[in-house]
Amino acid sequence: MIEWIDSHCHLDGFLKKGELVSVLQKAEESGVHQMIAIGTEPYDWDINHDLKLEFPSRIDYTVGMHPCYVKPGWHKLVDKLKAYFHKAQKPVALGEIGLDYYHLPIDQSEAEAHKMEQHDAFEAQLAIARELDCPVVIHSRDAFEQTLHMIDNSEINWTKIVVHCFSYSSEQIKQIIKRGGRASFTGIVTYKNAPNVKKALIEQGVDRLMIETDSPYLSPEPHRGKSNQPAYVADIGLKCAAYFGLEVETFAQKLAENTRSFFGLDKLN
Ligand SMILES: [Zn+2]
Ligand SMILES: [Zn+2]
């Protein structure tokens, strides 16, 4: 039986639309028995925590302040974030956190102010991650050097770091691997117009590879243009196995092992 894990998805939208049960059913049918619901702001931290209570063997979760959702007053939320790590059902990582210089306000001075705020919130959350010694999910867009520099400065052990939705080059992934970190890949690797991301995937190899949908965004081929969902991580996996010229079942098993060991997930019975 082929088994995939979606290492990064957002489930709150499906819950809101009353689609979660059918989305989980579809995932099950595609061999996706486990997934990680990723936090972006206080709104989804509670949702993700409650999903873990409701589906303990299928859903794990993280909490973190996404750079695009950092707002004035974020300082007050840091203690709230920490408190989740003392609950009975703990997050498996802190994230997604990082820097996003792609989605910035058009006004130059507003953009600069937001960059500063992103920087401060990222730094504060890296310090918490270091204190907790937990895995960290990094979101980084158009800010590679700055992201690398800040993680280096945090003195977090790079083996705890995953740069999710990797969209940089094969040269840049070398710098992550060299430090002991890793990248996870979305449906972008299935797009014909993203050869650099495919090259980066090959450069990293399968040793520490993880894949993800980042649903509801970024549907892989052949579902491009439609809303994404965890079931489609199987399509990403099939494509990646073909890129590496590996037999699908062995490849899927290796990725599931990588994901479980990185996030400390329990194996399904
Ligand atoms: Zn992200
Ligand atoms: Zn995400």
CATH 3.20.20.140 applies to domain 4-263: yes
Q: Per-residue pLDDT for 268 more than 80?
A: no
Query: What amino acid is encoded at 235 in this protein?
Result: D
Pick the closest to residue 16 from 44, 49, 45 (CA basis). 44
Cα–Cα distance for residue pair 186/210, rounded to 1 Å: 9
pLDDT per position as a tens digit, 70-108: 998 898 898 899 999 999 999 999 999 999 999 899 999
pLDDT at position 214: 97
The chain-wide mean pLDDT, for the chain, equals: 96
Return the ligand number nearest the Cα of 138. 1
Average pLDDT score over residue span 45-72: 96
Whole-number Å distance, alpha carbon 49 to ligand 2 midpoint, is 16
Q: Per-residue pLDDT for 24 more than 80?
A: yes
Q: Per-residue pLDDT for 269 more than 70?
A: no
- Listed in sequence order, the residues at least 6 apart from 35 whose beta carbon sits closer than 8 Å to its beta carbon are 5, 6, 7, 9, 11, 27, 58, 59, 60, 230, 233
> Token digits for 258?
């990588």
> Token digits for 71?
């707002």
Return the ligand number nearest the Cα of 62. 2
**Annotated domain spans of the chain:** 4-263
> Residue 60 in 3-state DSSP?
strand
Whole-number Å distance, alpha carbon 38 to ligand 2 midpoint, is 6
Whole-number Å distance, alpha carbon 61 to ligand 2 midpoint, is 12
Peptide bond between residue 105 and the one before it cis (omega within 30 degrees of 0): no
Pick the closest to residue 37 from 17, 63, 19 (CA basis). 63
CB 187 within 8 A of CB 228: yes
